[in-house]
Amino acid sequence: MADLPGAKPVPLSQLHRAQDRLSFLYLEHCTVHREDNAITATDARGTVHIPAATLGALLLGPGTTVSQQAMVLLGECGSTAVWVGEHGVRYYAHGRTLARSTTLLQAQAALVSNRNSRLKVARAMYAMRFPGEDTSGLTMQQLRGREGARVRRSYREHAARVGIDWQRRDYDPANFEAGTPVNQALSAAHTSLYGVVHAVIVALGCSPGLGFVHTGHVKSFVYDIADLYKAQVSIPVAFDIAAAEVADIGSATRRAIRDRMRGGAFLETCVRDIKTLLTPEEELVEYGPEAFEDAAFAGADVVMLWDDNGRAVPGGVAYGEEL
């Protein structure tokens, strides 16, 4: 049989787990191509090689040109490719999942489709933000009110810490530079956080659109998970950058977010939290998070058929009798 046209896919064994990857890399004003299993970025200063299998998200800014082969490699490696506008405040696309089973996706869909289980997960998300507090009896309205107060308090505390004036969160999505320096930094920081969280969600095989707190948007689950970390990651970084009075707020903020994620093992934390939220506690205890992840990667080329008696049967089998 003749070989299939095109480059061979990257072997699954060569791909890094989501929590072991680089968080994100931002490129602008360059040509992005592929050389073997590396992404290359070329401008007037030369060429840089980027191992695609270790990358979580590649942010493609203004002036970037990307080849078809580069996108093929990113897709095969499960790396999120994100086209962003000026200052990196919007993102649009993602790669394929690293998982080979739909275990987490099915769990997510089942949990979000039932009112009681959805409320339980939403409460668990808020409980992660309020350590030591009991959220089990609170309504969604009460949880939203408590969260709003927590975020406003966080803004005031960080403004006082760095010694800058703070009024309120105010920004125009269509005009980045119209905002105050701290609002610009917050927009850039949150967008970088969204991009990395999006990459983790997709890598695990979950749906970015099936949110528990947020709803009705294709990135609802991205916003759900990102909100778990804003108070520890994007908000303090944004106020630090605003106080430093840097020339390029967007670029300085992205670098600071990347440094914060690298130092705090962010990807590992994000992966663990998503699994904890979507997996019954007794299942995690019995099998452990590593075994659960191995199960999601098992059976790379096995497609099963749904059966209404609650079990799955192998695909690729002729079940009907010959006539």
DSSP codes of every residue in 178-236: GS-HHHHHHHHHHHHHHHHHHHHHHHTT--TT--SSS-SSTTHHHHHHHTTTTTTTHHH
The β-bridge partners of 305 are 313
Q: Which segments are annotated as binding site for Mn(2+)?
A: 147, 214, 227
Alpha carbon separation from 4 to 7, 12, 70, 134 (Å, rounded): 9, 18, 19, 57
In single-letter form, the type of residue at position 195 comes to G
Closest alpha carbon to 37 in 22, 18, 53, 57:
53
Spacing of C-alpha 45 from chain mean position: 31
Other beta carbons less than 10 A from residue 274's beta carbon: 22
Q: Which segments are annotated as binding site?
A: 147, 214, 227
